[in-house]
Amino acid sequence: MKKFLVFLLAVVAAGLFAFSMEDLKVTVFGNYNFAVNVSSTPTTVEATAANYLDFGLDLTYPVAENLDLGLGLGFAWLLNSEASPLISTDGTPSQNALDLFAVLKYSVELDRESKIVIRGFGGASWPMEKIAFDRVGWVFGAGANYTRYFEDFIVGFGAGVEMRIYGKNSVIAVPVGANFEINF
């Protein structure tokens, strides 16, 4: 467990040093995910029991006009412990997962104070019950947020689609949530 946390800290630190602090964007997000399709082997889990919360942060850097690339770190937590077999790659059920993913954001300016941000992401997800690099799952998603500028930060809300795959288990969900962005 300690080796894994040291590895994650090293990845986040490398990401921070790779970006110029002048243009770095930090986005904190949180979503309630409505599960719409669940595939679970060998147990059966109802989609309504597989709703979960996820939150985390994105570190992005502008690479072109209205286009940002970066890294994200997230955490997913199943609200119902009966659905914990979903987050399992080796038969050890887990109620939460740690995510490390790449992020792509494209912005469409609406006016001087608001924009639509289209966000795509994908990467690895580790069940937290027994973290090991050979027990990796995957998380992918896309969404759109309406964001509004305030003095020093940006607030947004939106929805999207997200898929989590852990071995033979998978869940497709519709995340609805909010985000806060701080630009350095």
Which CATH number applies to 1-183: 3.30.830.10, 2.40.160.20, 1.10.3720.10, 3.30.479.30?
2.40.160.20
Residue-wise pLDDT tens digits, 16-50: 665 555 678 889 999 999 999 888 876 778 888 89
Residue-wise pLDDT tens digits, 90-118: 778 889 999 999 999 999 999 989 999 99
* Bridge partners, residue 19, by sequence: none
Q: Residue 1 contacts by C-beta under 8 Å, 6 or more apart in sequence?
A: 131
Q: Domain segments of the chain: what residues?
A: 1-183
pLDDT score for 3: 67
Give this prediction's pTM: 0.83
pLDDT score for 153: 80
